[in-house]
Every structure is written in structure tokens, then in C-alpha cells.
Chain A
């Protein structure tokens, strides 16, 4: 069941279906604390209750220019290897089951997206990229175009 559950969101200017297995929650963030010296896709740190999360900017991961964090911007909280991260989202749409099967990619994507996207899926008359949120954290950053 969980395998079919996706979070539909717009991330790095692209509509994607995020596999929900590692997604913890969606929260608002304000004013993250920067981490000098950290890789460029690390926006900073913020506290969620008693946890400290590392905020990631997916724009940088796929090779776009970084964006400014707006007040109460929505972020997707994910757990990867015991650490908590949050992905900046441009817009959060919905969580839903997608019964349609994932179809493999055939190299039509930009280099940045090609490294994070796994497959394609049909949803309500549109084609979405299927992305595992963990890829945004573990993938080396694409050089900004």
C-alpha cells in the first residue's frame, strides 16, 4: 500500500511525485540558521520541536540557482540514515495513491534531474517525475548551469 502512496509537490520548479516512505511530515519553516562552509545545497538548520533538521534546497541539487527562503515556507521533512532533513518545496499539493505503474526514464532529462529522478508516473492526466527524497540529500550537487 505504502509503495503506491506519493506526495505530489512542486520542487525546484518541477511537479514531482515523491515516494512517501521516508517522508515524515510537511511543516513550515522560518529563518533557518546558516551553516558556513557547508555544501551549497545546505540552506541551514532549523529546529522542529526538539529535533534539529538540515534544510536542503533542491534547486541547487538539480543545478538551478538557489532560492530565498520565504516566511513559513513549506518544507518536506524526511529521515535519511538516522538524520532529519527538510526539502524546500515551492508548493505542496496533496498526498495520494497512484495506482498507475511507474515507467522507466529514457534519458530525456537535464543532467541535474537525471541524477535524482527514478521514473515517470501518470497522475490525473499529467506525467510526473517520480523522485525518492533521499536522492536530494545523498546525490552530489550538480554544478550550477
Chain B
């Protein structure tokens, strides 16, 4: 009989129940969507911040003392180099997954006819390589330097005789796209290169020429050598522990060290890189690393507060509607009372009805909410958001609490009703 009454209530008062269902459904959709979005908004914004370029600079330990600032270093004398063949090991560190992109640079000077020497750089553009674990990766400056404005065709990582020229250099020396340049190598031989692209970076690279590693080795004679590596990694904002560790990792206690090592702080990623590449010195570029942390924290906080607001508003909307719905049914409840229904039985009946509706609303709302989060993610960030199962229990718990709290005051009021008064019509 109980179930028949509930079924009857749900199906007979179809329009009223549909409105309730729809509200719960919308509320759940919004809550699920927002929770999903807020859950990985940090990762997504972090990914976007990668457009600021590398946050870690790797050089040779012996070479790190006085760098090539303001033309202080002449020639290629006495420089120590890292090995290109060591680079794939970077993808074998504990936080390998967080290493988004990196690019090696071999910097040297070349001569063009009788003009003053030009700074040339060999690098990876879009290089395929295999990590020690056998996975394939693609990396290079094409992804690392997204803000570069490239006129022409970006180079390939092959031995083709092509170069990219910085815009300032091109203007200064009157070089234009499609020209052929004669560059003199370390052995005095001339090599002819086609200018395949002219790029504008807004920094010192605009005075340099870029070429593939193979060509750089050919011109400089420095086989398997690189001067430095720029690396872009997803990192966790620094806290007090990270700052202590950055001074000296060995000063940490064993548990602190483990925590630090297993968190993606920029200092722990640097530490791990130094341990896989011989003679490497990895340093965070503070301009990028520090600022990222600030912005990430602020963004997360904004999204969290917005989520709280939307959760509260959907909670209020749902409970508002439920109490309105319950008040409307005073006549029905008066009748039930007149027929001898006990207070408890009536409450049970009403709650079961509402909860039955809520279950349907929450489940369908969860599905659409997840879809909705995916759509937001695709539209805004161009990538899908992962399915987060933990959101389901959170959302269902919240909605059920809201539904119960929303209906209780109204139900209590109804129980005080006098059947005679209600049935008579006030």
C-alpha cells in the first residue's frame, strides 16, 4: 500500500514532480560541473602558464660560473658541454610525467664572409625520441616557444641545409626569406644554407640564427655537445619545505626529504634532473617558476569561491522549491490525517516521494554535469576533463542534505495542520 501511494503520488502529480525533478537535475548538473572544473582548473591553468616558456634551465656544472652575459665570452674556448645523448634520461625521472617540453641548445659563433661573427644556435624543433623506458616523445622549441612569430616554415630536425634567422639580425644584415647564406664552419669550409624562416621572439634570440643539431655539429665540430637545456615542467607552488630544500636538500629529515622528493616542487624536479644527467646543474628560472605559483593559487581560490556560491544558490533554489511544493499539498495531508494517518507515516511518505525524485535527479544531473564539465574544458582549454568519480558521492551527499533540510520545516508545519480546517477550505 505504501509503495502504491508513493507511485500514485509521483505519477498523478506529474507536472509538479517534473518541476521538482528538473530543479534537482539542474542543481546537480551545476554542482557536478563546477566541482569537476574546479578540481582540475589548477592543472589546466598550469598548462596554459607553460606558454611563458621554460621554468628550468640546465647547464653544465663546470660552466655555470660566469655566463655569456653581454658578450663577455669570446669564442668557444674552454667551455664544458652536456651530452645530447644523455637527454632522453630526463624522461626517466620520478616526475617525468610533469616534464612538458624541453629543448637543448648548442651555442657557437659562425662567420659569414667578412662580416662580424654571428651567434648561431643548434636546437631541437620537433624531435622524436625514446625515453629509457621505451616510450616515444616529441619535444622541441615548436612547443616551448609558442609566442615566437615565425615567417616562413619552421625547420625539421634533419640535416637539410636550412636555417632560421632572427628578425633583428635579418634587418641588420639585409637577409630576407629564401636567401642563401654562406657560413664558414670551424674547419674553414663553407656551407650554403637556405633561409627557411625569419622569426621574432621579442628577446635576445632575435639577433641569432637557429639550425638543426646536425647542422650545428657540422659547423662547430662539437659532436654530441649541448650548452644548455630549457625545460618546462608542471610544478606545485613552493611552500616553506620547498624553500628549505632548495637551500640544501641534505639538511632535511628523512620524512621531509621523502615528502619533498615526491612532490612536484620545482626544486625537487631540478634535483632529480641533476641526479640523472652527469655534470648537470639545473636551476629554476624564478621569473617563471615563482609567478606561476602566485597565479595558480589565486585562480584556484577564485574558482573555489565561485563554486561555493553556485552550490549555495542551487541548494537554496532546490530547498525553496521543495518547501513551496510541500505547502501546496496541505489538503492532501489533511485528508490523510482525517483517514487516520499517523504523523510519522505521513512524513515517511512525503520524504520517500521526494527522495525517489531526488535519486533520479541526482543521477541524471551527474551525467549531464560531467558532460557539461567536458564541454567547458573543451571550449575553454581545448582539452577534455578527466572523469572524476569522487565527485558523485560528494554531490549526492550535498543534494540529499539539501533536499532533507529543505523539506523538513515545511513538513513540520504540515503536521500541525487541523484536518477539518484544511479540508473545509480554511
Q: Are A and B genuine complex partners?
A: no
Chain B interface residues toward A at CB < 8 A: none
